[in-house]
Amino acid sequence: MKEPFYSIACWAIRLSPVLIMGTVWLLCHYRFPHFQKVWIVLSIGYLTGVLSVWIYWDFAASYAPTEEIADEILSKDGAPQVFAPFVMPIFVCIYFALMWPITWLVTRICARKELAPGNPQP
């Protein structure tokens, strides 16, 4: 794989939990307003976070643009793959704290129809 595409793919894998958490939050807000959004978003963030770590290490080693990069990745001990399930709750909380203001702003700008002024609640 060529270098620019490899870097973009690696960053997309790394940022996927944040994007998925934001998407799930907005989906729950607009489509399922009475669900407990926080627990759903945190659990999906945890699962996608752990999976993204495992996928990143596999992808980075398998599709490295040069043998030197692949050897460097394979020479590491793989501790992130082992400790990801235990450390991911910390990162998910950080992701959630970073995501919260953005999703709050989006939900205030684009309010649900039943909550818009002039529309009575069902």
Structural domain including 39 reads: 3-115
**How far is Cα 38 from Cα 109, in angstroms, rounded to an integer?**
20
User: Above 70 in pLDDT, residue 14?
Assistant: yes
Structural domain contains residue 107 = yes
pTM to 2 decimals? Answer: 0.78
Query: How many distinct structural domains can be found in the chain?
Result: 1
Structural domain contains residue 122 = no
Token pair of 72 as six digits: 């460097």
User: Above 90 in pLDDT, residue 37?
Assistant: no
Structural domain contains residue 42 = yes
Q: How far is CA 53 from CA 39, 82, 83, 104, in A?
A: 21, 10, 10, 27
Across 17-21, 45-49, 63-67, 78-82, least confident range: 78-82
Structural domain contains residue 120 = no
Structural domain contains residue 103 = yes
